[in-house]
Amino acid sequence: MIARLRGIVDSIEDGRCVVDVNGVGYLVLCSTRTLGALPQGLATLLVETQVREEAITLYGFATAAEREWFRLLTTVQGVGAKVALGILSGLSPDQLIAAIAAQDKAGLTRAPGVGPKLAVRILTELREKASAMPGGGGAVMPVLLVKGAMAEALSALTNLGYKRAEAEAALARARDEYGAEAALDVLIRAGLKALAK
């Protein structure tokens, strides 16, 4: 089973790339987030290998957190590899944790192949497991604890057009850095800085 590939990125197409490892080109299906993170030249991809009767398929990931989320998402009935990659293209691991914590059905339905019923199933089945999953850093605020300056900062960021899940993840990092009693302007600036990355 292939777990990692290190080689030259030969080509990038819609949803996939070819990685040349010592003259052998491996076709790897990836999220748009991973494809966007691939460097010019030598690259390393973490791989999830799926063996089926008709094919051996490689799925590539830029981070271990993304691979772990792919594995967890595909345990949900109705979420195949293609849908899991679609979700991970739209939501980073941090944003996915925030969306599940906030029970943000609308955020999940933006991913291709995720309808309202599947979004509810994902939110329900992964609610308990999400908190133990790796993110990109920063804990997620429980929705009920968003009050005071934190609530105002969240409102400001969502009014600027950021998704609630993204804004919550960014403000969670700001809270961790500056403390729960940080001023509104500090939270907004730190949140915008985190969202710009």
Q: Domain extents for the chain?
A: 4-61, 64-130, 143-196
Q: What are the angstrom distances between the C-alpha of 112 and each of 69, 107, 130, 187?
A: 17, 11, 21, 32
Question: One-letter amino acid identity for 99?
Answer: A
CA 126/CA 72 separation, integer angstroms = 8
Q: 171 or 117: which carries more pLDDT confidence? A: 117
CATH superfamily assigned to domain 4-61: Nucleic acid-binding proteins (2.40.50.140)
pLDDT in tens, 137-180: 443 434 334 457 887 888 888 888 887 777 877 887 888 788 77
Q: Which of 53-67, 109-123, 133-147, 174-188 has the lowest mean pLDDT?
A: 133-147
Q: What's the pLDDT score for residue 162?
A: 83
- Integer distance in angstroms from the first to the last C-alpha of the chain? 34
Q: Do domains 4-61 and 64-130 have the same CATH topology?
A: no
> What does pTM read for this prediction?
0.68
Which CATH code for domain 64-130?
1.10.150.20
